[in-house]
Chain A
């Protein structure tokens, strides 16, 4: 079962993403901010990180950079209410940039796409 780390400071959205992604057949880890995300990753390596950007303690971009420095293979999808970070060069390191919407289809599609790409790039055997 593929494991997704959801990093999100809004409790309602955490709940929504957890339920929706579990229904898609993923196992879910949860972090409430960037700092917690680093702790979770240290405990267990997820297959994909879905990362909010604006969060207390440590924002998503810095958390992503830290994670990528330690485990540069893990794909991070930025999932934010803001489009302005698209121009931030840190955001270029992500595998995808999703603007939050009540329609989760784009997010789910991006997760599938990232996982599939990872699958195909992995050496056979």
Chain B
């Protein structure tokens, strides 16, 4: 403590003391103002450390910030400020004084990207990592005491705790000040300051100032923590909102599809009966007309146009009928082969070469075979339509862990980018005779099987569609002949 000695000149002393007090308060005020302006933690921490070690004010040589890491439950060195040597110290402060009028000026000009941390002291800071579960550690005890301490002669005063050798070894000095950072009952960390460079003792006034300063710093750190938390909350909220929006759009789309499907089905059924009449009677007339009659051609037009309409009706009704899959165990290679056999006629007409790349020994999958057959047929139909003047149609199967992949590839014109987003929109088609339901049906079937559908297309090179499906539970079952006797079902003779 500073005492008024009898021989001292009270006026001068009062003057000096007042001057230094004003300087200290100015620094405190400037740092406090700078802290209020920032929510950036790095900037706030740096401001605190600069305030502690700024030449004209508190005047500590070095300052270290240790913060509580809630996740790791440790007190961790986060940042430090201080020169390596007396020479470096004077150079740094001289430079700063040259550039900035005051500390406040320096701090307000501070930009996170411009912060250059001194390597040596930050190496030291990084080595502080004290578990909070160690209540006997002097630094933890001081933090919890919320009272500033000075290490001197191997003891922390006023706590009376022995200085742990590790801390003094890390700092490389025996005398240093420790100020707890806290807000209300919450422990935030510690501010450690020393004069290890100039080797000067720590004045009592500086210790008191450090305590006041630490309170200010605690509030500022608390603010940045709250701010970070807020930012994180907002980010999570935004993510949740975005997800909600996507789901909502999906729901609307599904609802739209369902309504469309119902309307289309209603219309299709109504159309079907008159079509049977028109087409049926036209066929009769055609059969009754002699081969050389010129009206035959006109009747044939009616018959074939009605057939086309009936085909469209079938497609629309088929689409609106896609229900939940009725799963059965299915040999996918055989299914793909049967689709190719079934469509042999169209393949031949388009002069398309087929290539099968089926994974040998592919295990059976659990799926609605008729739905999946229709889906593959739709993809093959599209592939053939993309190759009106020949090409190669390849079908592939492959296993990828628990997933099965069915690929349909063509060497046709490819899909132009502008059409990508519309591909799965009902009634979108680029064909003269398509319904625009084929791919919608495929994607619905794949969806119902909890699979995914993707495509890649290169203009002029061709298009590949990939159906990816889980093999399903059934395929994992042990065949009856291999199951242990106890598990086999008893069958009445």
Bound complex: CA A19 to CA B303 (Å): 18
A67-125: which residues lie under 8 A (CB-CB) from chain B? 81-84, 99-104
Q: Which residues of A contact B306 (CB under 8 A)?
A: 102
Chain A residues with CB under 8 A of B283: 102-104
Instruction: Tell me the complex Cα distance, A20–B435, Å.
Output: 31
A13 to B274, CA, bound (A): 8
B310 and A10 form a contact (CB under 8 A): no
**Chain B, range 168-206, C-beta contacts under 8 Å to A:** none
Contact A101 to B276, CB < 8 A, known contacts A16-B281, A20-B284, A81-B269: yes
Q: B: which residues have CB within 8 A of A?
A: 269, 272-284, 303, 306-307, 310, 314, 317, 321
Q: How far is the CA of A110 from the CA of B278 in the complex (A)?
A: 22
Residue of B272, B279, B281, B321 touching A81 (CB-CB under 8 A): B272
Residues of A within 8 A of B269 (CB): 81-82
| Contact assessment for A102 and B284 in the assembled complex, using a CB-CB cutoff below 8 Å | no
CB-CB under 8 A from A100, the residues of chain B are 272-273, 276
Neighbouring B residues of A16 by C-beta, 8 Å? 276-277, 280-281, 284
B272 touches A104 (CB 8 A): no
Tell me if A83 and B279 are in contact (CB < 8 A). no
Do A102 and B275 have beta carbons less than 8 Å apart?
yes
Min Cβ gap B324→A in Å is 12
User: Cα distance A102–B274 when bound, in Å?
Assistant: 9
Output the least CB separation between B241 and chain A (Å). 40
- Give Cα A103–Cα B272 distance, bound, in whole angstroms: 12
Q: Is the CB of B310 within 8 A of A102?
A: yes
Residues 1-56 of A at the B interface (beta carbon under 8 Å): 10, 12-13, 16, 19-20
Interface residues of A (CB under 8 A from B): 10, 12-13, 16, 19-20, 81-84, 99-104
Chain A's closest residue to B306 (CB) is A102
Main secondary structure of the interface of A (DSSP, over half): loop
Contact of A13 among B277, B282, B310, B317 (CB under 8 A): B277
Q: Would you call B278 and A81 a contact (CB within 8 A)?
A: no
Please indicate the chain A residues that have their CB under 8 angstroms from the CB of B303 in the complex.
102
Contact (Cβ within 8 A) B317 A83: yes
| Cβ contact of B321, chosen from A20, A84, A102, cutoff 8 A | A84
The 10 closest A-B pairs by CB, nearest first: A102-B279, A81-B272, A12-B277, A16-B280, A102-B280, A100-B276, A102-B276, A102-B306, A81-B269, A10-B273
Interface centre among A100, A101, A102, A103 (most CB of B within 10 A): A102
- Asked if B273 and A81 make an inter-chain contact with CB atoms under 8 angstroms apart, the answer reads yes
B307 to A102, Cβ gap below 8 A? yes
Chain B residues with Cβ under 8 A from A20's Cβ?
A: 280, 284
Could you say which residues of chain B place their CB within 8 Å of the CB of A101? 276, 279, 310
Closest to B317 in A: A83
Provide the residues of chain A in CB contact with B307, threshold 8 Å.
102-103
A104 to B276, CA, bound (A): 9
Measured in the bound complex, the distance between the Cα atoms of B272 and A100 in whole Å is 8
Q: Please name all residues of chain B whose beta carbon is closer than 8 Å to the beta carbon of A102 when the two chains form the complex.
A: 275-280, 282-283, 303, 306-307, 310
What's the nearest-Cβ distance from chain B to residue A62, in Å? 19
Q: Nearest Cβ in chain A — how far from B130, in angstroms?
A: 71
> In whole Å, how far is A87's beta carbon from the nearest beta carbon of chain B?
9
Min CB distance A80 to B, Å, is 9
C-alpha gap A20/B277 in the complex (Å) = 12
C-alpha spacing A62/B276, complex, angstroms: 24
Contacting B273 at CB < 8 Å: which of A13, A19, A83, A104? A13
Q: How far is the CA of A16 from the CA of B287 in the complex (A)?
A: 14
Contacts of B274 in A (CB 8 A): 12
A12 to chain B, nearest CB (A): 4
Contact between A104 and B321 (Cβ–Cβ < 8 Å)? no
29 pairs across A/B with beta carbons < 8 Å? A12-B274, A12-B277, A12-B281, A13-B276, A13-B277, A16-B276, A16-B284, A20-B284, A81-B269, A81-B272, A81-B276, A82-B269, A83-B317, A83-B321, A84-B321, A99-B314, A100-B272, A101-B279, A101-B310, A102-B276, A102-B278, A102-B303, A102-B307, A102-B310, A103-B279, A103-B283, A103-B307, A104-B280, A104-B283
Contacts of B282 in A (CB 8 A): 102
